[in-house]
Chain A
Amino acid sequence: MNRSTIDLWVGIFVALGLGAILFLSLKVGNLLTSNSRGGYHIEAAFSNIGGLKLRAPVKAAGVVVGRVESIRLDPTTYEAVVSLTVSPEYTFTKDTIASILTSGLLGEVYVGLDVGGDTQMLADGGRIGKTQSAVVLEKLISQFMFERASSGSAK
């Protein structure tokens, strides 16, 4: 086999391989928009996080703006403290409401941010005051049943 033929094929092969890695990183792995390193942190406390998991998306108006960085339980208040990493190009007002939502009935659990009207913005390490916990289906059903039962007996 001729030297330059080998060189050519190896060149093609390496270029193809690196192209594949690039494809996996950009088109599949979404390297450009995920920004898991850069970004600032904000915290939010929930009474119940439901099925929220690490690295779940943080969305504002349905757009992914960050990821769930850590989840821990506050030993004094017994609330779940969720730390969010948010891309630096987005800032949120101090009265933003964080809620735990589910996309569809069986979809993934994510943190939704609803922006308020405050003029001051959340800084790195800031804390979201208003939160809405996850809707637990069992509680919802039992509440519904209880209401039906009590309204039925009142009649």
Chain B
Amino acid sequence: MPASAIADGLRRVGAGTRRVFARLGFAARFTVAVLAHSPDGLRRIRLTLREIYFSGVLSLVIILVSGLFVGMVLALQGYDVLQRYGASESLGVLVALSLVRELGPVVAGLLFASRAGSAITAEIGLMKATDQLSAMEMMAVDPLARVVAPRFWGGVISMPLLAALFSTLGIYGAYLVGVKLIGIDAGAFWGNMQSAVDFREDVVNGIIKSVVFGLIVSLIAVFEGYDAAPTAEGVSGATTRTVVGSSLTILAADFVLTVFMFRGVGVG
């Protein structure tokens, strides 16, 4: 019965599409609701500070250590290639541009998603599963303003700072390897970097990227937590979806942003 099989398949596609759109619609309404409740939540700045502690301060170690090692490896590998062309003085340029434009925001974003994003989702999901959100609602306190908005803004504020720290530590790591270990002239290292890295084109664009990634991770994390099925499986599934979903979204958004930001520079 191929006709009925095709109809069956089509029906499944249709149902899947409808589910995807229903979820997207819910996500969009959720986003609007979170933003609408943000002034209410931000007024109690202490709640947001607390979330900056949980998503920012507690991510510091992994971000700093990763940044340092990424920078050191980048310097070793970059030196290997550059010295073949007699351009080892450009090591600072290579490392700084890679970190400030791409690796800083992207790798910090991926680490942030798996360290802080998953924790936010698990926390909100567990609060939902144990009726804490319902209890709050019954106490006439809106969980969007009290629970979701502070976590969202805590993440949005933490992420650019973490990305900048990642890049800084990376450049410091490259300095250690390039200048202290290999013996490139420190003046050439910093000087070439400074003349090649532009504040507006490179640094500001990198910061814009990290802000966008912070919005993406925080939004996906609070949404998945709020939308999680109120069971143990539901929460663990939502946590996985946060990490996978925000990682893929970061990479896709990075490509789009790069196309728009660096089209005229270096390429054309």
> Could you tell me which A residues sit within 8 Å of B by CB distance?
1, 3, 6-7, 9-10, 12-14, 16-18, 20-21, 23-25, 27-31, 33-34, 36, 53-55, 57, 64, 106
Contact = CB atoms under 8 A, between A and B. Distances in A.
A31 B202 CA distance: 11
B87 A106 contact: yes
B88 to A, nearest CB: 13
Interface of A is mostly: helix
B171 interface: yes
Contact of B266 (A1, A18, A53): A53
B53 interface: yes
Interface residues of B, number: 38
Contacts of A17: 56, 160-162, 164-165
B50 to A, nearest CB: 6
Given A7-B49, A28-B100, A16 B165 contact: yes
Contacts of A13: 52-53, 56-57, 60, 158, 161
B112 to A, nearest CB: 13
A30 B199 contact: yes
Most chain B beta-carbon contacts within 10 A, residue among A6, A17, A31, A33: A17
Nearest to B191: A30
A57 B53 CA distance: 43
B197 A28 contact: yes
A20 B159 CA distance: 13
Given A9-B53, A14-B161, A36 B198 contact: yes
A89 to B, nearest CB: 18
Nearest to B165: A20
Contact of B161 (A20, A25, A53): A20
A24 B164 contact: yes
Contacts of A33: 194
A29 B199 contact: yes
B114 interface: no
A36 B199 contact: yes
A72 B264 CA distance: 14
Interface string B239-260: 0000000000000000000000
B75 to A, nearest CB: 15
Contacts of A27: 190, 194
A29 B57 contact: no
Nearest to B190: A27
Given A10-B57, A21-B160, A28-B203, 17 more contacts: A6-B50, A13-B158, A14-B52, A16-B161, A17-B164, A20-B161, A21-B161, A23-B164, A24-B164, A29-B194, A29-B197, A29-B199, A29-B202, A29-B203, A34-B198, A53-B268, A106-B87
Max chain B C-beta neighbours (<10 A), residue from A3, A28, A34: A28
Contacts of B168: 20, 23-24
B263 to A, nearest CB: 11
19 contacts: A1-B53, A13-B56, A17-B162, A20-B161, A20-B164, A20-B165, A21-B160, A21-B161, A24-B100, A25-B203, A29-B198, A29-B202, A30-B198, A31-B203, A34-B198, A34-B199, A36-B199, A53-B266, A57-B195
Contact of B57 (A9, A31, A64): A9
A25 B198 CA distance: 9
A18 B190 contact: no
Contact of A55 (B50, B158, B207, B265): B265
Nearest to B53: A6
Given A17-B165, A28-B100, A10 B53 contact: yes
Nearest to B210: A21
A25 B199 contact: yes
A14 B52 CA distance: 9
A62 to B, nearest CB: 11
Contacts of A18: 161
A106 B90 CA distance: 12
